Amino acid sequence: MSKYWSQVAKRLEPYVPGEQPRDRKYVKLNTNESPYPPSPKVLAAIKEVACERLSLYPDPTCLSLRQCIAEYHGLALEQVFVGNGSDEVLAFCFQAFFDPGNPILFPDITYSFYPVYANLYNIDYQLVELEADFSLVGEKFATTNGGVIFPNPNAPTGRYIPLDAVREIVEKNSNQVVIVDEAYIDFGGQSAVELIAYYPNLLVVQTLSKSRSLAGLRVGFAMGHEDLIAGLDRVKNSINSYTLDQVAIAGAVEAFKDEAYFNETRHKVIVTREKTANRLTALGFNVIPSQANFLFISHPVVTAGVLYQKLREQGILVRYFNKNKINNFLRVSIGSEEEMDSLIMALHNILK
Amino acid sequence: MSKYWSQVAKRLEPYVPGEQPRDRKYVKLNTNESPYPPSPKVLAAIKEVACERLSLYPDPTCLSLRQCIAEYHGLALEQVFVGNGSDEVLAFCFQAFFDPGNPILFPDITYSFYPVYANLYNIDYQLVELEADFSLVGEKFATTNGGVIFPNPNAPTGRYIPLDAVREIVEKNSNQVVIVDEAYIDFGGQSAVELIAYYPNLLVVQTLSKSRSLAGLRVGFAMGHEDLIAGLDRVKNSINSYTLDQVAIAGAVEAFKDEAYFNETRHKVIVTREKTANRLTALGFNVIPSQANFLFISHPVVTAGVLYQKLREQGILVRYFNKNKINNFLRVSIGSEEEMDSLIMALHNILK
């Protein structure tokens, strides 16, 4: 602690991202990246934007990208906000919609950035307990609260709740904002975007980092009633007029235009996920049903901590959260078919 | 105002950036961009990074870029923080170092984002009055305060204070953080970076948007004692683990490596500035002495508001701040020689 830090800086407990190691080459199944490269059209667009115009500021309204997203999702331009990854968008959401002294709700097992944001902005929160199988019961979000946020599918479990259950949560919280964090929705879930027309309190957040193979480009977005988008704009324009650089805007636009590539690669991930789930079950693992690009697994004999360590020694990185209730689980990103073969073979050797 | 907005969102008065018009082609002298393209090496590096690796997250510590900056400025790696433009870095600074109830100081005429940040984080502030010629008197910052921030050269005036004056301010405020915002330092001023070794309360902020022709890439950075950098890291890692995308990191690294190009282009801007200042003086303008890549000017006969409008009609954009004390001034970015010829000719016609 430095005497120069603010009270806020002193109380922070920052988020720790999955490691990006450099000591050796790993089979990297720890940060839910796509095993497939970005669309060739995205890469071509980035090369094209690497020109003299980079000396000029980007469009602060990111008009071209917001138009693309609006069109893709059947929304108006004013219903779309874009930012530097969905993490930044979520941070802005906490600041724009939640107040100190009015506790918000999120699941007790969920994306571990939520309590970090809450702490940063001094927002109180109550944890909503998941069932033993990690399923989320919508009724538990019907208590008095200052706002609701949950991922669908949930992280790090991969469990998904259907649109009707989402609708019920949004309806029962009509006086406060409900944020559905859909970072993983493109891997088999149904998006809540279609509810936006009916519920002015619903905000849906998505990202290009997973299903569009662009974790390295940092683009996320939020969709909702134009009043909510205006709130996000106010926060963003009080911090940084230009959160997306010219390159990110140009690449992201092409990612939306190349729908064929998007569908092809996300379906490959879904197929590999189902195959991997079956193989893990055959190895004796408890595999939580997932609609995401990862699996949450535990083994009845060998503990997750030991598996994590032994996989690492064999050059395979997965994510292990040493936290209450999930400290015997591993989160395994869905890689290529070859990467999953390596994982299964390594687990087979460890378990035999 | 939406009922869904937080108290913070309701009280915000967002910053308004200089316009990036699309209705026609302008001689764009309104946002202090460089008239020269980025280094060809930067553009080559961006093209190279547009590859399959973009599906992976960037290095959250931005090691390669921080190493480059540390080496360039003779600092340790732990003394360098990077972010999405110096605006984001400054926002993080307000959150990391300033507290509500302990008023900070900044000049009454200065970068108009400072009061926006203060408002966002509920930081009280006192304005330190500049002299009639917009010069800044260091002694006025020697009162009790919760922190100090000022640009050097100042914006939008372009006035610069020498290193000894900066040192005095830093020394007289040893119990709180002094932020020197050096967005324009490469156009003739002496950076306060060399003071970092002696003053643990000094933070120096710079950007690649101006002197390195990379406004479109969004890269800024802060330098100071490692405790200050750790404070910024805590804030950043509570908002967004990856504020710089892979492309911005790769491009920024090359911008620092190509020092010859950097020196060539910034010196061209300085030469054009001096020449333009002389021509404007000959046209009867009061030209505030500038060490930045812009000039702050007023005319004894034609008001700034009228000049702004007439220049705009002739396809030349400059910045006009309709604010107390400066509402008869224009801020004119230094463009290419040809662009400044157009400006002078247009002014000549307007004034005759």
Cβ separation A60–B20 shorter than 8 A: yes
Distances in Å between the Cα of B241 and the Cα atoms of B155, B174, B333 are 30, 31, 34
When computed from its CA atoms, the radius of gyration of chain B, rounded to whole angstroms, is 20
Are B214 and B247 contacting, i.e. CB atoms less than 8 angstroms apart?
no
Q: Where are the beta strands (DSSP E) in B73-151?
A: 80-83, 104-107, 125-128, 148-151
Average pLDDT over residues A144-159: 97
Q: Is A59 an 8 Å CB contact of chain B? A: yes
Q: Which of residues 122-181 of A touch B (CB under 8 A)?
A: 175-177
Q: Map B296-318 to HEC letters.
A: EEECCCCCHHHHHHHHHHCCEEE
DSSP states of A43-110: HHHHHHH-SGGGGSPP-TT-HHHHHHHHHHHT--GGGEEEESHHHHHHHHHHHHH--TTS-EEEESSS
Q: Is B2 an 8 Å CB contact of chain A? A: yes
Q: Which of residues 265-324 of B touch A (CB under 8 A)?
A: none
Across chain B, what does the average pLDDT equal?
96
Q: Which residue from A175, A2, A54, A115 is spatially nearest to B219, judged by alpha carbons?
A: A54
Question: A217: which chain B residues are within 8 Å (Cβ-Cβ)?
Answer: 54, 245-247
What does pTM read for this prediction?
0.97
Average pLDDT over residues B275-292: 98
Cβ separation A228–B98 shorter than 8 A: no
Token pair for A125: 């929160």
**Lowest-confidence segment of A208-222, B22-36, B298-312 by average pLDDT:** B22-36
A98 has pLDDT over 90: yes
Cβ separation A33–B55 shorter than 8 A: yes
Distances in Å between the Cα of B181 and the Cα atoms of A61, B90, B321 are 25, 8, 20
Chain segment B118-173, per-residue pLDDT in tens: 999 999 999 999 999 999 999 999 999 999 999 999 999 999 999 999 999 999 99
Q: Is B34 an 8 Å CB contact of chain A? A: yes
Residue B21, pLDDT score: 78
Nearest CB among A47, A200, A238 relative to B50 is that of A47
Average pLDDT over residues A34-40: 97
Measure the CA–CA gap between A114 and A107, rounded to whole angstroms. 10
∠ CA B289-B295-B298, nearest 5°, is: 90
Q: Which residue from B204, B218, B134, B212 is spatially nearest to B167, judged by alpha carbons?
A: B204
Token pair for A90: 């979520």
Cβ separation B238–A12 shorter than 8 A: yes
Nearest CB among A12, A13, A50 relative to B47 is that of A50
Are A200 and A225 contacting, i.e. CB atoms less than 8 angstroms apart?
yes
Distances in Å between the Cα of B105 and the Cα atoms of B97, B128, B263 are 13, 6, 33
Question: A38: which chain B residues are within 8 Å (Cβ-Cβ)?
Answer: 52, 54-55
Question: B237: which chain A residues are within 8 Å (Cβ-Cβ)?
Answer: 14-16
Q: Map A221-246 to HEC letters.
A: EEEECHHHHHHHHHHHCCCCCCCCCH
Mutation site for A-interface testing, chosen from B1, B3, B4 by largest number of A Cβ within 10 Å: B4
A22 has pLDDT over 80: no
Listed in sequence order, the residues at least 6 apart from A106 whose beta carbon sits closer than 8 Å to its beta carbon are A114, A125, A127, A128, A148, A149, A150
Average pLDDT over residues B297-302: 97
Cβ separation A42–B54 shorter than 8 A: yes
B214 has pLDDT over 90: yes
Question: B85: which chain A residues are within 8 Å (Cβ-Cβ)?
Answer: 240, 242
SS3 assignment, position B343: helix
Average pLDDT over residues B205-210: 98
**What chain B residue is nearest to A46 in terms of C-alpha separation?**
B50
Q: Is A4 an 8 Å CB contact of chain B? A: yes
Cβ separation A234–B9 shorter than 8 A: yes
Measure the CA–CA gap between A133 and A157, rounded to whole angstroms. 9
Q: Which ipTM did the prediction report?
A: 0.96
**Residue B23 binned pLDDT confidence (cut-offs 50, 70, 90):** confident
Nearest CB among A4, A84, A99 relative to B6 is that of A99
B17 has pLDDT over 90: no
Are B244 and B233 contacting, i.e. CB atoms less than 8 angstroms apart?
no
Nearest CB among A16, A121, A201 relative to B4 is that of A201
**What chain B residue is nearest to A48 in terms of C-alpha separation?**
B47
Q: Is B99 an 8 Å CB contact of chain A? A: yes
Average pLDDT over residues B238-254: 97
What share of chain B in percent tops pLDDT 90?
96
Across chain A, what does the average pLDDT equal?
96
Average pLDDT over residues B303-308: 97
B19 has pLDDT over 90: no
Chain segment A51-77, per-residue pLDDT in tens: 999 999 999 999 999 999 999 999 999
Nearest CB among B12, B227, B246 relative to A4 is that of B227
Domains in chain A and their CATH numbers? Answer: 17-37+260-351 (3.90.1150.10), 40-257 (3.40.640.10)
Token pair for A50: 């690497």
B213: left (phi over 0), alpha (psi -120 to 50) or beta: left
Q: Which of residues 171-210 of A touch B (CB under 8 A)?
A: 175-177, 200-201, 209
Residue A265, pLDDT score: 98
Q: Is A238 an 8 Å CB contact of chain B? A: yes
Angle at which helices B337-351 and B259-282 pack, to 10 degrees?
A: 10
B16 has pLDDT over 90: no
Distances in Å between the Cα of A270 and the Cα atoms of A42, A181, A256, A279, A285 are 22, 19, 19, 14, 19
DSSP one-letter code for B320: -
Looking at the DSSP bridge assignments, the partners of residue B223 are B80, B204
Token pair for A153: 């599918």
Chain segment A216-249, per-residue pLDDT in tens: 999 999 999 999 999 999 999 999 999 999 999 9
Average pLDDT over residues A109-123: 96
